[in-house]
Amino acid sequence: MSLFNFFFPGHTRTEQQRAADAIDAEARAHRQRDAAHLGELEHRVQELEQDLGFVALLLGGILDVIDKKGVATREDVQESIERLDMLDGLKDGRLDINALKRH
């Protein structure tokens, strides 16, 4: 039972009231879809953070082994990073993957 029927038993609802109810129902449906989408996005961000943490750990392990075995020093790696950083034309501490593919 709607609140209108509760407070005004026996009265009929107008078209305007029915239209307002339809708008409210549509807004509720949008909010539910948005909430579900937000939950999916939050889950995906959490997965990406975990993946990035693993990649950082993996890279750290590789760099440590390379340094300890004398294959390359950390300074050698730093020089390579600085050179690669400029492949996309920007010294910004990151690399556009497309620039790496073109190189």
Total structural domains in the chain?
Answer: 1
Residue 17 confidence (pLDDT): 80
Q: What is the mean pLDDT of residues 65-90?
A: 92
Would residue 35 count as lying in a domain?
A: yes
Residue 9 confidence (pLDDT): 73
Would residue 91 count as lying in a domain?
A: no
Task: Give dist(CA 28, CA 12) in Å, integer.
Answer: 24
Task: Give dist(CA 17, CA 59) in Å, integer.
Answer: 62
Task: Give dist(CA 28, CA 45) in Å, integer.
Answer: 26
pTM for the complete prediction?
0.57
Residue 11 confidence (pLDDT): 67
List the domain range (segments joined by +) for residue 23. Answer: 11-54
Tens-digit pLDDT profile for residues 2-54: 777 777 776 666 767 887 888 899 999 999 999 889 999 999 999 999 999 99
Would residue 83 count as lying in a domain?
A: no
Alpha helix ranges (H) inside the chain: 3-7, 15-68, 74-85, 97-102
3-state secondary structure of 62: helix
Residue 52 confidence (pLDDT): 95
Would residue 15 count as lying in a domain?
A: yes
Would residue 18 count as lying in a domain?
A: yes
From residue 87, alpha-carbon distances to 33, 75, 81, 93 in Å are 42, 19, 10, 11
